Structure 1
Amino acid sequence: MFLASEIERLVAAGLECEFLKIEGDDGTHFAGVVVSAAFEGKPRVRQHQAVYATLGKLMGNEIHALQLTTYTPAQWAEFQKELG
């Protein structure tokens, strides 16, 4: 069984993030939000691949699924503004 906090630790160690939140309570299925300047100019698929790269062989093994929502800092600021 894997912990969401461990995924957060690994992603943060491998990718500079402005905001990072991973959730999941069954130990294999997770969802998260990642905000990083490293996503600038990259399509969503490449953004997700950058996050998955920080997890290496854990993806598909200990971590069965990780549903991601990724934002650049500008996109995140706009999203936060829309929320009020």
Structure 2
Amino acid sequence: MFQATEIKRLVEQGLPCEFVAIEGDDGVHFSGVVVSREFEGKMRVRQHQAVYATLGTLMGNEIHALQLQTYTPAQWAELQKS
């Protein structure tokens, strides 16, 4: 079983992030929010691929599913206002 804290650590290690929150309590299904400047100008699918790349072969193996919400810092700031 995999821990949400380990996914958070790997994402933060592999991608410059302003904010990362990962949740999941069954060890294989997770959800998360990732905010990064790296997402600027990228379509949502490319943003998610960038996060998945930080996890490498864990995706689809130890980590069965990771539902993501990705934001640029500007998008995140707007969301926090509402």
Same fold (TM over 0.5): yes
Q: Report the aligned-residue RMSD.
A: 0.2
Percent of residue pairs identical: 79
Structure 1 spans left out of the alignment, 5+ residues = none
Q: How many residue pairs were aligned?
A: 82
Q: Deviations over 1:18-53 (max 9, x none)?
A: 000000000000000000000000000000000000
CA distance in structure 1 between the aligned counterparts of 2:70 and 2:12, rounded to whole angstroms: 14
TM-score w.r.t. structure 1 length? 0.97
Which residue in the other structure is 1:63 paired with? 63
TM-score w.r.t. structure 2 length? 1.00
Aligned-pair CA distance for 1:12: 0.3
Which residue in the other structure is 2:3 paired with? 3
CA distance in structure 2 between the aligned counterparts of 1:78 and 1:70, rounded to whole angstroms: 13
